[in-house]
Amino acid sequence: MVDQAVKQKVDQWLNSSIDEESKQQIRDLQKDPKTLVDAFYKDLEFGTGGLRGIIGIGSNRINKYTIGKATQGLANYLNQSFPGKEIKVAIAHDSRNKSDYFARITAQVLAANNLEVYLFESLRPTPELSFAIRELGCQAGVVITASHNPKEYNGYKAYWQDGAQLVPPHDKNVMAQVNAIENFDQIKFDGDTSLIHTIGAEVDEKYLSMLEKLVVNPKVIQHQNDLKIVYSSIHGTGITMVPEILRRIGFRNVSIVEEQAEPNGDFPTVVYPNPEEQEAMSLALAKAKEIDADLIMATDPDTDRVGIGVKNNLGEFQLLNGNQTGVLLIHYLLDQWKASGKLSNRNYIVKTIVTTDLIDEIASQYEIDCFNTLTGFKWIADIIGKLEGEREFIVGGEESYGYMVGESVRDKDAVASCAILAELVAFCKQNNQTLFDRLISIYQQYGYYRESLISITKPGKSGADEIQEIMHNLRQDPPKSFAGSVISVIKDYQSSQSRDESTGTTESIDLPKSNVLQFLTADGSKISARPSGTEPKIKFYISVRGELPETSDYEVVGSQLENKINQIKQDLTDLTSTTP
């Protein structure tokens, strides 16, 4: 059944000035009411990663008109925010289907609003777009990407003049401008091409030069320049920058996964172009076994996330999760900064609230601040912006395979991460240690943290309603325990309240409101519930902790922690399956 609101929106599109081909696509959709509803039941909104959706016709889809409307709203807000000034906007795109087309649409709409546009000559990593905004003195930026989503998706990330994704008030103000557009006639599609300039090799060179300076141990790379590295770009933009930066900092033995080297929006060799997925890493793993590699690295289509694999303590290749990689990267940089005498209480790191608390423990040991933010690198960048000039940021990260080194890029940067992770593996090898050995030694010193993620997909309007119902029930009737350990604290980031369950006392949470719940148990476990801001999913993040007295206890303690995680997963399944 198609409700009246959807019918009204469909009629509005059919009676508008959109092209005849698009109107015919809508008429075809009317033969399939469920698909029609999913395409029109709402307008795409900015989430943690901007505008993201399935490619196709409709208000809840990525197409010329939703891209055009978002861009017109951005242009209106920019003209309002910088009256009488020359306004410049940088644009990049990834390898996804229609990404180059949507980038050109974005450029034309901005140019039609008398803005100077700087468009990359071809596909480039998202972090380079962030860098280019600052380098070119732009007031904003846009990248066309859906990150690691399936091939059916594309998206639109908007950035401000600091090179970071939009945060309040800019995100809400842009959406207000977008929502104020009542018909497509208000979108200016025909821009003056003389206002559209090409970004070429000069920005690539500056970006790569900046990345080279992030290396902290160049001599180690010199000694280990034959380190056997396997790299896959998973049909994305990473092929344009990652092999080159590895070459520039001194690595001479990088093997590319050729089957995945060519940019291709159909991602023909994978189900999901996401380095978090074992399946997406299978070709890289096979290559690593073939050549007995020291390190496997793979990046997602827009090269802001990286997944890695190394040999474990049994000599078998193992993929590390995002928390483990983040712990290793952050610990290494703090360790090397301290060793070189650069570390002081002026320095700080940042992580998100769903990322492992092991990073907080490490920061405490090094006597520097670790700030916790909401999910999304825009919040990490927001802290850097607020502290710019007063304190020095070293590194930040989140559990979903995203890391940022230094202040020149204000979004997660897998190109930089690949460089420093390769350096770290070289450092370990130089010191007769494997990366996995180093991870175990960190667990031994700070506590053995183990994490897992449940991601439940609920597509369409009905799915969005189900997710809302799950969060509502968790708030109204919260669980009393997980895996037999009582809940000691409940943090509700939507009400900005943290409640001690034993005393009933509350404390305020000094972060922007967000639809996230966290349950902390008496034995040190943390369970977080969070609907995704960019996908039709609800995610449950699980973190448990144990002690690791000796290296030889790693397998036994790991098994105990995994059993606890499985108990928590069962508890969560019981909770969500009883949702009406």
CB atoms within 10 A of CB 137: 10
Q: Is residue 213 part of a domain?
A: no
How many angstroms separate the first and last alpha carbons of the chain?
Answer: 21
Same-domain pairing of 197 and 342: no
What span, in angstroms and rounded, lies between the C-alpha atoms of 303 and 322? Answer: 15
pLDDT in tens, 120-154: 999 999 999 999 999 999 999 999 999 888 999 99
Tokens 């380079």 belong to residue: 128
pLDDT in tens, 153-209: 999 999 999 999 999 899 889 988 988 998 999 999 999 999 999 999 999 999 999
Last residue of a domain, one of 446, 471, 494: 446
Same-domain pairing of 146 and 275: no
Q: Is residue 211 part of a domain?
A: no
Rg (CA), the chain: 24
Q: Are strands 140-144 and 116-120 parallel, antiparallel or unpaired?
A: unpaired
Same-domain pairing of 413 and 474: no
Q: Helices (H), strands (E): how many in the chain?
A: 18, 23
What span, in angstroms and rounded, lies between the C-alpha atoms of 239 and 261? Answer: 6
Please tell me the predicted confidence (pLDDT) of residue 461.
78
Q: Is residue 214 part of a domain?
A: no
Q: Is residue 210 part of a domain?
A: no
What span, in angstroms and rounded, lies between the C-alpha atoms of 238 and 240? Answer: 5
Same-domain pairing of 393 and 539: no
What span, in angstroms and rounded, lies between the C-alpha atoms of 5 and 36? Answer: 12
Q: For the chain, what is the domain count?
A: 4
Please tell me the predicted confidence (pLDDT) of residue 580.
41
What span, in angstroms and rounded, lies between the C-alpha atoms of 303 and 571? Answer: 35
Same-domain pairing of 1 and 54: no
Collect all residues with Cβ–Cβ distance below 8 Å to 350 and sequence separation of at least 6.
Answer: 370, 371, 372, 373, 380, 383, 384, 393, 396
What span, in angstroms and rounded, lies between the C-alpha atoms of 228 and 215? Answer: 18
pLDDT in tens, 400-414: 999 999 999 999 999
Q: Is the pTM of this model over 0.85?
A: yes
Last residue of a domain, one of 415, 446, 477: 446
Same-domain pairing of 100 and 247: no
- Beta-carbon-side half-sphere exposure of residue 195 (alpha carbons within 13 Å): 20
Same-domain pairing of 230 and 148: no
| Identity of the residue numbered 322 | G
The CATH number that applies at residue 436 is 3.40.120.10
Please tell me the predicted confidence (pLDDT) of residue 48.
52
Same-domain pairing of 291 and 416: yes
Q: Is residue 11 part of a domain?
A: yes
Same-domain pairing of 16 and 56: no
The CATH number that applies at residue 494 is 3.30.310.50
Q: DSSP H helical segments within 82-125, as ranges?
A: 99-112
Please tell me the predicted confidence (pLDDT) of residue 318.
96
Please tell me the predicted confidence (pLDDT) of residue 46.
64
What span, in angstroms and rounded, lies between the C-alpha atoms of 210 and 217? Answer: 15
What span, in angstroms and rounded, lies between the C-alpha atoms of 350 and 379? Answer: 9
Same-domain pairing of 298 and 383: yes
CA 452, chain centre distance (Å): 17
Contact 551, 440 (CB under 8 A): yes
Q: DSSP H helical segments within 15-54, as ranges?
A: 20-29, 33-40
- Which CA distances in Å does 475 have to 91, 480, 542? 41, 12, 18
Last residue of a domain, one of 155, 172, 205: 205
Same-domain pairing of 442 and 503: no
Which structural domain range is residue 31 located in? 1-41
Catalytic residues: 147
Q: Is residue 441 part of a domain?
A: yes
**Element of type H or E holding 274:** none
Contact 360, 331 (CB under 8 A): no
Q: Is residue 1 part of a domain?
A: yes
Q: Is residue 212 part of a domain?
A: no
What span, in angstroms and rounded, lies between the C-alpha atoms of 295 and 425? Answer: 7
Closest by CA position to 58, among listed 42, 70, 73: 42
Same-domain pairing of 344 and 464: no
CA angle 472, 476, 480 (to 5 degrees): 115
Low-confidence ranges of the chain (pLDDT < 50): 579-580
